[in-house]
Structure formats: C-alpha cells, structure tokens
C-alpha cells in the first residue's frame, strides 16, 4: 500500500469535494457538446487540466504521482472527467510540453490547460492496430516546401468527436518504408485542416466516443510539426505515459 503525502491527501480531498459538488450528479448522463465544453471549463478553473504541464504555459507543474492521485480520485466520482484530466494533462497533451517549441506551446498548450481546446492522439490505424511500426500514414513535404501533405487514416481515436487538435503519428518521407519505426514522427493537425475529416464516431463499452479519421492530402503547416523521423523511441516514451492512468 502506498502512503500518500500530506500534499497528495490535500489534492485527493480537493478533487473529491469538487467532484461531489459539481460533477457527480451528471456523471453518467448523456451530455450535449455545450454541456461537455462547460464541464471542461469547470475542470480547468479547478486546475485539473494540464496538471503536469509547466506553470509558465498555464499548467499546474505537479509531479506525475500527484496528478495520478487526482485522476484516480476523480474516477471514483466521474470517470469521464477523469479521462479528460488524463488526456489533457498527464497523457496526450504531454507531447506538447516535451516536444513543442515555445510558440507551439503558447498556441495549443495554454488553451488546453484553460479548457478552451481539447486534444486527442491519432496513432492507431485500420490495418496496423496499435502496432505503431506498421503504420502507413505518410507526411511528405509539399512542392513549395512550406507544409507537409498528410495521407492515411486512423481508427479508435478516443475523444476524437470533441477534439480540436490531434497529435498525429505519421511516417515522414515517401514509401517504401523498410526502417521499422525510424521514419515515424508527429505533428499537430487542427480539426479545420483542409482534407481532414472524421468519417464516423462509435462508442465503446465504457461509452467513450472513438472516431475514425481520414487525411486526404491534408496540408499541415511546417509550424505544426513536433518532430520528424528518427524520433520513434522518444514518441513511445511519451505515449507510454497514457498507460499510467
């Protein structure tokens, strides 16, 4: 059994009080998009989004251990909000503060921490599953050299229905790829990107929405690139944080 510190006990108590007061009654009821956005802003106002993100970009600066105490306690009262705390705090959004430039962090990370944007990770593919080294989505430099042309599809993307930005894994360059994962990098795709669409949205047994995405010659500015190829090891180390909660 883990003995919590006084600070962790205080975090646990704060989350429990907030969840019981603001969230528990509606935790298992359907919600509209407006209701969802209001809930996200409530979490942000309580400091429960971006908990481990740097303070200078709107985050809480907590350790992962402290943040996971908060996520676990929230899950007792409102599993959906616990998932938002994870995705926009300890999990997917961490790509932005580990790999992002200060300009990228200011553009996307601060709004995520403030509940104004929602992120999702786009890695799993129809033919590859979560075996990332088998992915076929490609990012190739456009003729003018100012952007990348993204082609491929993703499936089972948790939270894709509500997401504003997608941390998207892709192979940089042109096929054939015979390098395992060495050509895999990541870039941020905004939901209004030309050529990007959500084909369908399903729900799993936990009533979590899971989207299928299509990238059809989607033009993604170079500004949006977090890392090009030769970074698969770094990406997976970041992705593995998703497994903590």
Residue 141 vs residues 128, 134, 149, 196, 229: alpha-carbon distances, Å:
24, 21, 6, 17, 13
pLDDT, tens digit only, all 245 positions of the chain: 678 999 999 999 999 999 999 999 988 888 889 999 999 999 999 999 999 999 998 899 999 999 999 999 999 999 999 999 988 877 888 899 999 999 999 999 999 999 999 999 999 999 887 777 888 999 999 999 999 999 999 999 988 889 999 999 999 987 767 667 778 999 999 999 999 999 877 766 566 778 899 999 999 999 999 999 778 888 888 887 766 65
Q: At 12, phi and psi to the nearest 5? A: -60, -45
pTM more than 0.95: no
- Which domains occur in the chain, in start order? 6-113 (1.10.540.10), 119-244 (2.40.110.10)
Per DSSP, the three-state class of 225 is strand
Q: Is the dihedral of CA 206, 209, 104, 228 positive or negative?
A: positive
């Amino acid at each position: 059994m883990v003995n919590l510190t006084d600070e962790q006990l205080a975090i646990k108590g704060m989350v429990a009080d907030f969840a019981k007061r603001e969230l528990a009654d509606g935790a298992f009821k359907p919600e509209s998009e407006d209701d969802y956005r209001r809930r996200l802003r409530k979490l942000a106002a309580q400091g429960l989004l971006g908990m481990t993100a740097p303070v200078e970009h709107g985050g809480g600066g907590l350790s992962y251990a402290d943040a996971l105490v908060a996520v676990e306690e929230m899950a007792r009262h409102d599993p959906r909000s616990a998932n938002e705390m994870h995705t926009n705090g300890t999990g997917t959004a961490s790509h932005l503060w580990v790999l992002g430039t200060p300009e990228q962090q200011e553009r996307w990370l601060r709004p995520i921490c403030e509940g104004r944007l929602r992120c999702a990770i786009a890695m799993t593919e129809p033919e590859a599953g979560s075996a990332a080294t088998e992915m076929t989505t490609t990012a190739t430099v456009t003729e003018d050299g100012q952007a990348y042309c993204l082609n491929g599809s993703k499936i089972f993307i948790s939270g894709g229905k509500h997401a504003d930005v997608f941390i998207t894994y892709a192979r940089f360059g042109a096929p054939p790829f015979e390098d395992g994962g060495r050509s895999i990098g990541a870039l941020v795709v905004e939901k209004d990107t030309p050529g990007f669409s959500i084909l369908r949205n399903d729900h799993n047994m936990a009533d979590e929405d899971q989207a299928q995405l299509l990238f059809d010659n989607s033009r993604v500015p170079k500004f949006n690139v977090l890392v090009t190829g030769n970074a698969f090891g770094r990406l997976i180390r970041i992705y593995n944080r998703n497994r903590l909660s």
